[in-house]
Amino acid sequence: MYPFSKRADRRRYASPGSILAVVLGLIALAAFVLVAFMEDATARIKYSGLFSNRDDLRIQAYSMLETTFAVINEIREIDRALYGPAQGWGDPLGYAQIEPPEDFDVEIIIEDETGKISLYRITPLTLNVLFEEMGIPLDEAEPLTDALLDWTDEDDLTRLNGAESDFYETIDPPYKPANSPLQSWNELRLVKGFDTFFFDPEGIPNDHYRQFISAVSLYHDEPVNINSAGPLVLTVLSRVEGIDIMGLTEYLNGDDEVRGTGDDRLIIDRGHHYFPGGQQQGGRSGMADMVTGLFKITVSVHRGEAGFLLSAVAAWSGANPGAASRTVEPALTVQQTERPKQAEKTDYGSALGYPFRILHLSENRRL
């Protein structure tokens, strides 16, 4: 009986190794649960922090936007006109000598919309030249030109390589062309040929898309301000209007031959040697000018992982914001009026006593 009882006692009590394994397992399980809880709590805190910081970020973004407006208008008052970023408005915080609060990261991007070619004034020749300079062969550029012009004109007459309702109604699902000016760049996805040349198979904009929207504007119907025009736009102007692009670029770039530095020059006289047309046509070239008054301003404010984006399009007196008006009023066309009417509904700035009009204002979305 004794040997049997001894074996039973050994079975009755667990070994120390088994107890240790159970304890370690419980500790591991508790650690796993604790880590999962902390990760979930951290995510919730971050999520809550994004919304609790939003008001502070929003206030800071609007403050930076008003600072930008103030700088642009002060320069306009001093110089009697707005010519180009070399006047100082390209760096509004530097001009105003303002430092954002220490825990905020602020970026302000100002684009002179009149430094781009107006899509409402553009001709088939200019479009073809632009597409060629973007690297699209002429035999493929002409169909894009005709398709875009057919999409935006009023009539249903199909150009040689274009497309009207009889083409778009055969697509699945079918739709009709706008027969009015583009309201946004996303509309290009619907235009024949642009879906393959300007977007990849997944529908993501490609380099052709980015080049095009950097050279063409939806927001005005003015000539191009050569003081702020980019290389692609100047190259197109040189081919269409015979501009001396080398001499003009060297002059604008200054002694260091680099654009965007402190020694940049501006053309402020239509009789200037490098101004297209010189004193011809009343001192204006068909496609070129030397002043601006229409800006797209993007203010980005970050604090930690929280961010706020503020985008605005604003016009000072003298600017003719054709596209901005069209987005508020029923679409107008060049056939209806030589210059688009300016919509009173967009005159937000003047209603507040500001010397400019805020035509578009968007939060957390780029215009």
Asked if 118 and 220 touch (Cβ cutoff 8 Å), the reply is yes
Give bridge partners of residue 117 from the DSSP assignment: 216
Residues 222, 289: contact at Cβ < 8 Å? yes
- Report the predicted TM-score, pTM, of the whole model to 2 decimal places: 0.76
Q: What's the chain's average pLDDT?
A: 83
pLDDT in tens, 56-70: 899 999 999 999 999
Confidence of residue 366 (pLDDT cuts 50, 70, 90): confident
* Tokens 């697509």 sit on residue: 171
Question: Are 316 and 197 a contacting pair, CB within 8 Å?
Answer: no
Q: Is the pLDDT of residue 77 over 90?
A: yes
The pLDDT value given to residue 19: 77
- How far apart CA 357 and CA 325 sit, in angstroms, is 11
Query: Which residue in this structure is represented by tokens 């009709």?
Result: 176
Mean pLDDT of 254-279: 86
Q: Which two structure tokens, joined as six digits, stand for 86?
A: 């070399």
**Lowest mean pLDDT segment, chosen from 48-62, 70-84, 131-145, 192-206:** 48-62
**Which residue type sits at 243?**
I
Q: Which two tokens stand for residue 261?
A: 């530095």
| Residue, of 248 and 32, whose pLDDT is higher | 248
Q: Give me the pLDDT at residue 280, please.
A: 47
Sign of CA pseudo-dihedral 31, 32, 35, 38: negative
**What percentage of the chain carries pLDDT values higher than 90?**
60
The pLDDT tens digits for 290-328 are 999 999 999 999 998 889 999 999 999 766 666 544 433
